[in-house]
């Protein structure tokens, strides 16, 4: 009877116990890393205007600290940015000392200003051909639909039923100071909305210069003195260097 001379040995495992342990450890580490991931793309945050119970006012959006002014937006030049005299009251504690402008109602029912105690007399920007060209372009964008091509208050929306604004060519507005027109563009008046957020200050002064040009075009002999004053104004006033670029600014109906 034949017998076998060799023993059957247990086969070696394809993966050692140590390798299995390392794989399990790596898997656990990977799962732990995924569970603890906390970077900017996953950070807790609130959307604009959402509620946040953490703050007493329940607002997620926080107000700027009192007195904060963005760099380049201090706007100390009151004449350029407001069209007002330096000693005139404004939207602060000195407002109570501001002179009160007189108003009346014209034949069309518009409430109009008849005195201009705080407005500066002359445009603080030197009146040049470039300024007038810019004013004409901006006037045709924002003003012509109500005030008309030459400022007579016969714009396209007025012809279709919108209330007619005062003409620029009456004695009241021909004699009004430049700062008055700037103030109306900035803050609005009557049925005219404010353009302060849409038109930069430099462009508002360009529009004022173009309005003066329209007045001269319709009454050349009566505006000689005004023309001379505006021309001389280039010597007396200067423009802030960043006025046209540092400001962040609807179609109007009534002017003052």
64-122 tens-digit pLDDT: 888 898 888 888 899 999 999 987 654 544 444 457 778 888 776 777 888 888 999 99
Give the integer Cα–Cα distance in Å for 122 and 233: 7
Say which DSSP state 7 is in. P
Closest CA to 201 of 133, 130, 124, 144: 124
Per the document, the length of the chain is 256
Q: What is the mean pLDDT of residues 199-212?
A: 97
Residue pair 188/202 in contact by the 8 Å Cβ criterion: no
Give the integer Cα–Cα distance in Å for 24 and 16: 13
The distance from CA 206 to its chain's CA centroid, rounded to whole angstroms, is 17
Residue pair 252/146 in contact by the 8 Å Cβ criterion: yes
pLDDT tens digits along 138-190:
999 999 999 999 999 999 999 999 989 999 999 899 999 999 999 999 999 88
Which structural domains are found in the chain, ordered by start?
78-89+99-236 (1.10.760.10)
């Amino acid at each position: 009877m034949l017998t076998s001379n060799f023993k059957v040995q247990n086969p070696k495992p394809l993966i050692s116990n140590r390798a299995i342990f390392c794989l399990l450890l790596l898997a656990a580490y990977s799962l732990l890393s995924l569970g603890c991931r906390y970077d900017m793309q996953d950070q807790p945050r609130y959307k604009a205007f959402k509620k946040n119970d953490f703050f007493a006012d329940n607002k997620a959006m926080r107000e700027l600290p009192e007195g904060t002014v963005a760099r380049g937006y201090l706007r100390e030049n009151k004449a350029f940015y407001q069209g007002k005299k330096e000693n005139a009251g404004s939207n602060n504690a000195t407002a109570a000392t501001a002179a009160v402008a007189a108003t009346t109602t014209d034949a069309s029912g518009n409430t109009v200003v008849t005195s201009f105690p705080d407005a500066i007399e002359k445009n603080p920007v030197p009146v040049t051909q470039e300024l007038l060209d810019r004013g004409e372009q901006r006037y045709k964008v924002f003003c012509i639909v109500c005030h008309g091509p030459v400022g007579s208050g016969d714009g396209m929306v007025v012809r279709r039923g919108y209330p007619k604004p005062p003409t620029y060519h009456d004695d009241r507005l021909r004699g009004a100071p430049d700062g008055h027109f700037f103030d109306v563009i900035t803050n609005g008046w009557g049925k005219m909305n404010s353009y302060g957020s849409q038109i930069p200050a430099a462009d508002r002064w360009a529009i004022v210069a173009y309005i003066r040009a329209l007045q001269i075009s319709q009454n050349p002999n009566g505006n000689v003195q005004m023309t001379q004053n505006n021309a001389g104004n280039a010597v007396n006033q200067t423009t802030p260097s960043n006025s046209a670029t540092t400001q962040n600014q609807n179609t109007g109906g009534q002017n003052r």
